[in-house]
Amino acid sequence: MSNPYAQHNEQNKANFDHVYDLPDPRGYFEALGSLDYLAPEHGRRLFPTLLERVRSAGGPAGVLDLCCSYGVNAALLGHDLTLGDLYARYASPEIAALSTEELLEADRPFYAECRYSSPPGIIGADSAANAVRYALWAGLLEAGFGENFETTDPPEAFGQAVGGVGLVTVTGGVGYVWERTFNRVLKAVEQARPDGRAPWVATLPARLVDYDPLSDLFSRHGLVTERLSLRTFPQRRFADAAEREHVLRQLAEMDVDPSGKEEEGWYHADLYLSRPAGEASNVPVDELFGTPGVLDY
Ligand SMILES: C[S@@+](CC[C@H](N)C(=O)[O-])C[C@H]1O[C@@H](n2cnc3c(N)ncnc32)[C@H](O)[C@@H]1O
């Protein structure tokens, strides 16, 4: 159950810890934007299709976003906004001098104006308690938990909040969260849902992540895991040559071909989807995204 990526995150990956738990998201968007971080934009394009499928299979329509940070995925799934819009907003000179309270005063109407008429209900969890608090205050999350489920069991309130969760999402967080977190979260959702079933789980881990331990864990919760084979997803540029060399070495060990992808200077991610066995055998993950254009961007 130990997390093999904890060491990679601490020693071989650019470190963003200093921007994960600030009082507001400006520093986060500045740091991640400087490396063209794109994972939530892929979530914006992919997760609605999955949520639609969860609903049509009779599952509940709520989303639990793990590693939710300042509510980035909630902002994109619930509002008529792109990740580019968020980068532009939080880098704009007009808000640079605002205090966190003033930024919140400005963010609430900003999000309210472009909220979809029926946004998905999104619950967030992240070990960065300040970030989660910001997302709650900005009105992005239905409920939020600033907790580290790698180290502690979810509080009772978490169990009470997740009974309507049909889809668990993670962008940019697999590796930080690993078997312990997913096990605790899936157990809590199963206990809370009236049908007792595990939710779908959709993640976008970097390609150097060996997903087998998570697939095995998910199968113990009755879920079958597939990897989308149709394309990969550029996640962000490497911060420096050391990061690039480390990733290329890891991929070589895993026999993964980096040409046209990591070799070009970018982390690439795969989409993994875990679903109850019967639902996975109906339509393979590649066919879920068969509508022309959905993956062409
Ligand atoms: C790269 S950010 C991704 C945030 C957001 N999902 C996105 O794509 O913009 C990684 C997030 O993982 C969170 N994180 C790190 N360790 C964690 C843990 N043990 N449990 C929950 N969240 C964690 C960090 O606080 C940070 O918000």
Which tens digits make up the pLDDT trace of 21-77? 999 999 999 999 999 999 999 999 999 999 999 999 999 999 999 999 999 999 999
Q: Output the CA 172–ligand 1 centroid distance in Å.
A: 7
Atom from ligand 1 closest to the CA of residue 40: 8
Please tell me which residue, 233 or 5, carries the higher pLDDT value: 233
Longest dimension (CA), the chain: 53
CB 190: neighbour CB atoms within 10 A?
16
Kindly state the tokens that stand for 102.
Answer: 């003033």
- Predicted confidence (pLDDT) per residue in 176-202, tens digit: 999 999 999 999 999 999 999 999 999
Q: Per-residue pLDDT averaged across 220-228, rounded?
A: 97
Looking at residue 1, its pLDDT comes to 53
Backbone angles phi, psi at 235, to 5 degrees: -100, -50
Specify the pLDDT at position 206.
97
Distance from the alpha carbon of residue 66 to the mean position of ligand 1, in angstroms = 7
pLDDT for the residue 84: 98
Q: What pLDDT was estimated at residue 4? A: 66
Cross-strand pairs, 168: 64, 201
Domain-embedded: residue 187: yes
Indicate which atom in ligand 1 lies nearest the CA of residue 32: 1
Q: Establish whether residue 176 lines the binding site of ligand 1, counting it when its CB lies within 6 angstroms of any ligand atom.
A: yes
| 189 belongs to a structural domain | yes
Cβ–Cβ < 8 Å for 154, 145: yes
The reported pTM is: 0.96
In degrees, to the nearest 5, what angle opens at C-alpha 165 toward C-alphas 160 and 169? 120
Tell me whether residue 286 is in a domain. Answer: no
Give per-residue pLDDT as tens, 146-186.
Answer: 999 999 999 999 999 999 999 999 999 999 999 999 999 99
Check if 132 has its Cβ closer than 6 Å to any atom of ligand 1: no
Is residue 127 in contact with ligand 1, taking CB distance under 6 Å? yes
Q: How sure is the predictor about 278, in pLDDT bands with cuts at 50, 70 and 90?
A: confident
User: Which pLDDT does position 292 carry in this prediction?
Assistant: 73
Q: How many CB atoms lie within 10 A of CB 191?
A: 11
Ligand 1: centre distance to CA 278 (Å)? 31
Check residue 279 and give its pLDDT. Answer: 84
In the chain, the number of structural domains is: 1
CA distance 100 to 237: 29
Do residues 73 and 126 touch, judged by C-beta distance below 8 A?
no
pLDDT of residue 207: 97
Residue 123 Cβ contacting ligand 1 at under 6 Å: no
Residue 10 confidence class, pLDDT cut points 50, 70, 90: low
Atom 1 (ligand 1): residue with closest C-alpha? Answer: 172
Probe residue for ligand 1, chosen from 5, 132, 176 as the CB with the greatest number of ligand atoms within 8 Å? 176
φ and ψ at residue 222, rounded to 5 degrees? 80, 15
Q: Are 74 and 140 in contact (CB under 8 A)?
A: yes
Look at residue 294 and tell me if it is in a domain.
Answer: no
Residue 139 has pLDDT above 60, yes or no: yes
For ligand 1, atom 4: residue with the closest CA: 69
Query: Cα separation of 13 and 101, whole Å?
Result: 32
What domain range includes position 144? 5-281
In a domain, 140, yes or no: yes
CA 36/CA 268 separation, integer angstroms? 12
Q: What percent of the chain has pLDDT over 70?
A: 96
173 lines ligand 1 (CB under 6 A): yes
120 lines ligand 1 (CB under 6 A): no
Residue 123: give its domain's CATH number: 3.40.50.150
Give the confidence band of 82 by pLDDT, cuts at 50, 70, 90. very high
